[in-house]
């Protein structure tokens, strides 16, 4: 089976728009898919704007912001989770898990992420809503494109761009809140003493939002985002993507002509070529031409077509979430077969579960302190005048807790005398809260031999025992 997935969607726009280079101007639509998209938009924006202000008690000497990317101190906080630079393998695991989930979603229902929850889609929908409220729906906005700028039109332009800029700066300011204490920075805004660095980043993020959601829009989804280009490699004919049931819709003709032919017992397609599926598409493609790289699976064309079918008294689903294999079965007059559970989806689901279990286990096994040992490189060993051999090490202790700790250091695995440089009494090593400490340690063996050495650090409470391995080198 050979499938050609179209990428040059510009030719499927309205001819006038393609000829003049006008932007895609989607028409508003109502329906169940549009309602789901509004709900997701409201939820995602609420999470984005509210999350920086949520509090989480981590005890003394620790920030109480629930979600905080504290790059200045090398910390990532997410409610009860605290990630240090040494724990970035967990972040890597989460990124791999997210990618696997995205591929699994693509195998089940195509680009659902792109059509419903991608930030580009969410903020573009928000900007389009503002545009419609101020300038009117598609027909009026198309008239405005070629109309002279009068007082009313100038006021609309100013109002629209002012609202866009307000949303953009709110978006940029909120993103900065994730990197510092949100209430404190908000108070700094009120006092007018925000740092130039913070203002600079807010302007950058606001400008990005304003440009991508206000002007680039569908160009981001089609040409800037790498995800459409990967569809040729991961596109699945059994995934439930937005498709046109051409075996039911063709041949296209007016409703009146179709009714006449059916009265004569002749076949007639349900598609009346109203072009509503094209005018509501945020990308500007015609789904009736077949699978398209640019389609983000938002389903707005499904609502538009269902609305037309309802008015004509015909069954919905001419355009619907359907697998391409079922489209081909429909052409052969075969019943549809839904195979959501198949080797590919089972394997991807298993991979997600394994990754999740691994990340949870790694997080549960993570300790609040670490011990590391680095053997001196030059020289590896020093032979003393009495014939004994001395090895030098740098021992580092990292305390991730919010309280200071003292650790007693010991060594096993070799018959050697341990000495802590500058701490001849071998008193406990003090490590501050959220800090680290390093000491120079020497091991001197009267009867040297190559052996594995185990360094052990026990905190003063005796509840935490850390260990690290290295080698004692004879020569």
How are beta strands 417-420 and 389-399 bridged, if at all?
A: unpaired
Tell how far CA 134 is from the center of its chain. Answer: 31
Q: What backbone phi and psi angles, to 5 degrees, belong to 222?
A: -95, -45
Cα 340–Cα 346–Cα 348 angle in degrees, nearest 5: 110
Residues of the chain under the 50 pLDDT cut? 1-2, 4, 7-20
User: Which candidate, 42, 207, 228, 48, places its Cα nearest to that of 125?
Assistant: 42
How confident is the model at residue 7, as a pLDDT? 45
How confident is the model at residue 287, as a pLDDT? 92
How confident is the model at residue 11, as a pLDDT? 44
CA distances 456 to 35, 372, 423, Å, are: 60, 10, 17
How confident is the model at residue 258, as a pLDDT? 83
User: Which candidate, 397, 460, 398, 396, places its Cα nearest to that of 434?
Assistant: 398
d(CA 142, CA 129): 16
How confident is the model at residue 259, as a pLDDT? 84
**Do 249 and 303 form a contact (C-beta atoms < 8 A)?**
no
**Do 245 and 317 form a contact (C-beta atoms < 8 A)?**
yes
d(CA 362, CA 350): 18
User: Which candidate, 137, 108, 103, places its Cα nearest to that of 28?
Assistant: 137
Element (H, E) at 412: strand 405-412
How confident is the model at residue 22, as a pLDDT? 66
Its pTM stands at 0.82
Range 369-472 has CATH code 2.40.30.110: no
**Do 466 and 405 form a contact (C-beta atoms < 8 A)?**
no
d(CA 253, CA 244): 16
User: Which residues in the chain are classed under CATH 2.60.40.10?
Assistant: 369-472
User: Which candidate, 381, 399, 405, places its Cα nearest to that of 470?
Assistant: 381
119-134 burial by CB neighbour count: b if 16+ within 10 A, else e? Answer: ebbbbbbbbbebbbeb
Structure tokens, 423: 């701490």
Q: For the segment 372-421, what is each residue's pLDDT rounded down to a tens digit?
A: 999 988 888 888 888 889 999 999 998 887 778 889 888 988 888 888 88
User: Which candidate, 370, 375, 428, places its Cα nearest to that of 401?
Assistant: 370
Taken as a whole, the chain contains a residue count of 475
How confident is the model at residue 127, as a pLDDT? 96
How confident is the model at residue 9, as a pLDDT? 44
d(CA 401, CA 157): 54
């Amino acid at each position: 089976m050979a499938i050609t997935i179209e990428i040059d969607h510009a030719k499927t726009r309205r001819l006038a728009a393609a000829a003049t280079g006008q932007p895609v101007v989607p028409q508003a639509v109502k329906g169940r898919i549009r309602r789901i998209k509004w709900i997701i938009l409201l939820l995602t924006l609420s999470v984005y704007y509210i999350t920086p202000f949520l509090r989480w008690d981590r005890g003394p000497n620790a920030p109480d912001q629930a979600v905080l990317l504290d790059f200045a101190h090398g910390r990532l906080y997410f409610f009860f989770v605290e990630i240090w630079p040494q724990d970035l393998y967990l972040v890597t695991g989460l990124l791999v898990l997210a990618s696997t989930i995205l591929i699994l979603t693509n195998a089940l229902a195509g680009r659902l992420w792109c059509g419903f929850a991608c930030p580009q889609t969410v903020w573009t929908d928000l900007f389009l809503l503002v545009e419609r409220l101020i300038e009117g729906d598609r027909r009026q906005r198309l008239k405005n494109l070629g109309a002279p700028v009068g007082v009313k039109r100038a006021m609309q332009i100013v109002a629209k761009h002012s609202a866009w800029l307000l949303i953009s700066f709110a978006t940029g300011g909120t993103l900065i809140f994730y990197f510092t204490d949100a209430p404190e920075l908000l108070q700094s805004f009120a006092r007018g003493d925000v740092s130039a660095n913070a203002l600079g980043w807010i302007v950058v993020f606001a400008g990005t939002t304003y440009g991508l959601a206000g002007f680039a829009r569908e160009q981001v989804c089609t040409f800037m985002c790498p995800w459409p280009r990967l569809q040729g490699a991961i596109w699945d004919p059994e995934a439930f993507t937005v498709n046109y049931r051409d075996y039911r819709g063709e041949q296209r003709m007016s409703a009146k002509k179709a009714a006449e032919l059916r009265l004569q017992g002749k076949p007639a397609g349900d598609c009346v070529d109203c072009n509503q599926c094209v005018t509501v598409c945020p990308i500007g493609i015609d789904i009736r031409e077949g699978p398209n790289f640019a389609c983000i699976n938002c389903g707005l064309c499904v609502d538009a077509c269902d609305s037309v079918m309802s008015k004509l008294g015909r069954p919905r689903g001419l355009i619907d979430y359907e697998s391409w294999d079922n489209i081909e079965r429909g052409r052969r007059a075969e019943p549809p077969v839904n195979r959501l559970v198949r080797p590919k989806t089972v394997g991807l689901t298993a991979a997600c579960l394994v990754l999740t279990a691994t990340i949870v286990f790694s997080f549960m096994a993570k300790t609040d302190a670490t011990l590391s040992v680095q053997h001196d490189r030059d020289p590896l060993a020093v032979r003393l005048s009495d014939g004994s051999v001395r090895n030098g090490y740098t021992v580092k202790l990292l305390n991730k807790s919010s309280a200071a700790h003292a650790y007693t250091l010991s060594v096993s695995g070799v018959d050697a005398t341990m000495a802590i440089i500058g701490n001849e009494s071998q008193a406990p090593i003090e490590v501050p809260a959220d800090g680290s400490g390093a000491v120079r340690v020497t091991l001197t063996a009267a009867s040297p031999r190559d052996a594995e050495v185990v360094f052990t650090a026990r905190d003063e409470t005796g509840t935490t025992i850390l260990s690290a391995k290295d080698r004692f080198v004879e020569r």
